[in-house]
Homo-oligomer: A and B are copies of this chain.
Amino acid sequence: MILTVTLNTALDITYRTTALTPHATNRVAEVAERPGGKGLNVARVLSALGHETVVTGFAGGRTGDALRELLAAEGGPSDALVPITGTTRRTIAVVDETTGDTTQLNEPGPTVTPAEWASFLTSYEGLAARAEAVALCGSLPPGIHVGAYAELVRLARGANRPVLLDTSGEPLRRGIAARPDLVKPNADELARLTGSREPLRATRDARRRGGRAVIASLGAAGLLAATPDGSWRAAPPKAVRGNPTGAGDSAVAGLLSGLVERLPWPDRLARAVALSTATVLAPAAGEFDREAYAELLPRVTVTEQAP
Contacts and interface: CB of A to CB of B under 8 A. Distances in A.
Interface string A14-33: 01010011111111110100
Contacts of A22: 20, 22, 96, 101, 103
A104 interface: yes
Contacts of A26: 103-106
Contacts of A29: 108
A285 interface: no
Contacts of A24: 103-104
A15 B106 CA distance: 10
Interface in A85-113: 92, 94, 96, 99, 101-108
Given A20-B22, A62-B62, A62-B65, A94 B101 contact: no
A24 B20 CA distance: 12
B106 A27 contact: yes
Interface residues of A, number: 28
A282 interface: no
B15 A104 contact: no
A92 B103 CA distance: 14
A96 B103 CA distance: 14
Nearest to A100: B23
A66 interface: yes
Given A62-B66, A65-B62, A92-B92, A105 B28 contact: yes
Interface in A192-238: none
Contacts of A105: 15, 17, 26, 28, 92, 94
A23 B108 contact: no
Given A62-B66, A66-B62, A25 B101 contact: no
A65 B20 CA distance: 29
A30 to B, nearest CB: 8
A149 to B, nearest CB: 21
Most buried by B among A21, A26, A29, A99: A26
Interface in A1-44: 15, 17, 20-29, 31
A234 B65 CA distance: 50
Contacts of A20: 22, 103
Contacts of A99: 23
Given A20-B22, A22-B20, A101-B22, A108 B62 contact: no
B31 A108 contact: yes
A50 B279 CA distance: 57
A129 B56 CA distance: 54
6 contacts: A17-B105, A22-B96, A23-B99, A23-B103, A24-B103, A26-B106
